[in-house]
Structure 1
Amino acid sequence: MQPDVAAPGVLILAAVPGETPYAFYSGTSMAAPHVSGIVVLLKSLHPDWSPAAIKSAITTTAGVKDPHSGLPIIAEGMPFKVADPFDFGSGLVNANAANDPGLIYDMGTFDYILYLCSMGYKSDDINNIIDGAASCPLKRPSILDVNLPSLTIPNLKSTVDVRRTVTNVGPENSKYKAIIEPPPGITIKVKPETLIFKLRHQ
């Protein structure tokens, strides 16, 4: 499985309790606390955003090039290679950009219920989890339609439709146009290609 995002995680200085009252340790695997800190900052700036909205903002604004050189990200290993989504997920996290993502892919309780229904859980099973009254649709929903910013399509031998719902958290009068960069041998169409959000008159 690929990660959602990449974050600084090599040769990070960490303050730990010591004799004088703190000591510095240098190590790796610090990407998780970096992202956790960004989540806390985003939640303080946007207290109404859900966990799904925050994750969407982080993943959709991540960059796929080195922020210092502008060159492609290199994956360590033998031999070195240009990193791909299986190395960095959506890309290298960008906290400033995540604060203003424009569009987000949000999910609420109902969306998670549909996700469980798509996995084959029965209504009674889901009610035991959420302590409520959930009811799966008569037609089993597609697991491909879970409202995440990423797409997972297990079979590309035929045409597949996936649906997403986006929420504008940018300016009220905004226009977004899809820019498509399909993998080799794959044709992708987005409908509608352009989204226009206008200010509602009171």
Structure 2
Amino acid sequence: MNFYITKRQGLCITGRAVCSYCHLKSTEVKLHTTFKKKRGPETGTLNDGLALALTKSKLGVADAKLVMSCLNINPPDGRGLQRKLNQMCDRVEAINEASMVENQQYVRRVNTLRGEGDAVDLETDTSYNNRPQAGFEAATQSFSPMMEASTPRKLVVSLQTANKLCCKRKCENHTNCKKYYYTEDSISSSEAKLLRKNLDFIQTKIS
């Protein structure tokens, strides 16, 4: 009995078994599961699982392709995987935002039970993809989470980022552009701006 791959979509494959004696061919069998999207055809869970793993690690598309090649696994197309990764990042961002709103509501309920009103202790810090240096600025991204310090759980209640990078070589404010921090602005000054955005986010969602 031999098995031949008849269709490949990234890591998801469909195949057919063929008898080596009588050459009887089976019907095509999907060796993966799929789920429906809001628009377009069904997508394979393996491809989305790979994209989700990349969002939770420091590996990029090229790194993932190298790992799979070393394991003798035919890697997905790089452009398709990058597109899938961008879509997954948007979905994860929406999930994280909903989770932070739930954390805000939890802290508010705790304060209500304690009789402490709306006063909440907050902690925040900002990190950069390159350490800021005097006279030279290599950083292009910054990351500023805000956590509550009123409960032992230390929940994240807001998170803002600054990004000077764009996927296009010539960024001209195109649709869905991920560059939302001006190139001429110093990334070192993003700490104060992101602090203001964090506070605005909390005030908007909790009201």
Q: Which has the higher strand share?
A: 2
Taking CA–CA contacts closer than 8 Å with sequence separation of 6 or more, which of the two structures ends up with the larger relative contact order?
1
Q: Which has the higher helix share?
A: 2
Q: Which has the larger radius of gyration?
A: 2
What TM-score comes out, normalization by structure 2 length?
0.26
